[in-house]
Structure 1
């Protein structure tokens, strides 16, 4: 898999690699040089941040209307 380096030195990590490493927006990675001279990408921490839906799972509670639950899952204030 190839990618292009921008004028700012940035690259896009291919989706297949992001999926394999479990990284997403906000994830931190580290670049490590290996003895043979190659460089590897290592995810730091927990990997992909928890989605807003995962944080809401199991928190609807009793007595909420469908509209209230939908507003909660959409992030409406």
Structure 2
């Protein structure tokens, strides 16, 4: 792996998938004992893509279901 002239590096796909580093994920760099660790930021600076999609969908259901109705639908798929 090589750092570009702009200080960028490509994180391998398997690492991104394993650790949930999706596009636009805020990360932190933690230095300890001569090692640098990259980790998802505790508090994102702005909403990530999943949060934006969920906020767009929130309240868009055509009808409201009770918790029991949702559980019955979920159990119906388990029987297949």
2:41 is aligned, of 44, 58, 62, to 44
Name the Cα RMSD after superposition: 2.6
For structure 1, list consecutive stretches of 5 or more residues without a partner in the other structure.
63-77
User: What is the rounded CA distance, in whole Å, between the counterparts of 1:60 and 1:46 in structure 2?
Assistant: 29
* Number of equivalent positions: 58
Q: Which one has a larger percent helix, Structure 1 or Structure 2?
A: 2
For structure 2, list consecutive stretches of 5 or more residues without a partner in the other structure.
64-80
User: What is the rounded CA distance, in whole Å, between the counterparts of 2:5 and 2:24 in structure 1?
Assistant: 22
Secondary structure at the counterpart of residue 14 of structure 2: helix
1:13 is aligned, of 7, 11, 31, to 11
Secondary structure at the counterpart of residue 6 of structure 2: coil
TM-score, normalising length: structure 2: 0.54
| 1:1-77 superposed matches below 5 A | 3-35=1-33, 37-45=34-42, 49-50=49-50, 52=53, 54-55=54-55, 56=57, 59-61=60-62
TM-score, normalising length: structure 1: 0.56
